[in-house]
Amino acid sequence: MWKKLIFICKRIFWTPERYARSVGVQIGKNCAIATFGFGSEPYLIQIGDHCQITTGVKFFTHGGGWVFRSKYPDFDTFGKIIVKDNVYIGNNSLIMPGVTINSNVIIGAGSVVTKSVQSGKIVAGNPAKIIGDLDDLEKRLIPYNLNTKKMNYLTKKTFLLSVKDEMFISK
């Protein structure tokens, strides 16, 4: 009972990063962690430097063993998850056991990552597939860079409402 109460308090009052570290997730420097979804073996997850893990992302370090337990009662398999440096994982993505996400990668929102991802790639979908290259995306986005990152909310709002439509991404 106490363990459950402590768990609930941590999830309510601690930041997701502090919670993740407390349960054994290895996290590098300058990360932005916004999820509590580190599963039942969080100590099998490593996150590198300068990574953003957004809301609703879930990491799975095991699964599927249930169907074999009538034949093998203690059946369990596991896979470590490694997220290297400079990675963005979009909202509600699922990262499956044994996956390595190499450096300089974007995972699109809602993706199911079932295989390791090469450096410099953009992947999305279910299952996640390569949809682009980070260098190509950079070239396409540079003309739209509005340099608002250090603006406060009101300054940014005023600025964005004054910008011509051509400066916004359009699809």
The residues that bridge with 82 in the sheet, in sequence order, are 46, 100
Indicate the burial class of 80 (C-beta count within 10 angstroms; 0-12, 13-18, 19 or more).
Answer: middle
Catalytic residue among 21, 62, 80, 156: 62
Rounded to 5°, the CA angle 33-19-27 comes to 50
The Cβ of residue 110 has, within 10 Å, a number of other Cβ atoms equal to 15
Q: Is 50 a catalytic residue?
A: no
What single-letter DSSP state applies at residue 124?
Answer: E
Residues carrying an active site annotation? 62
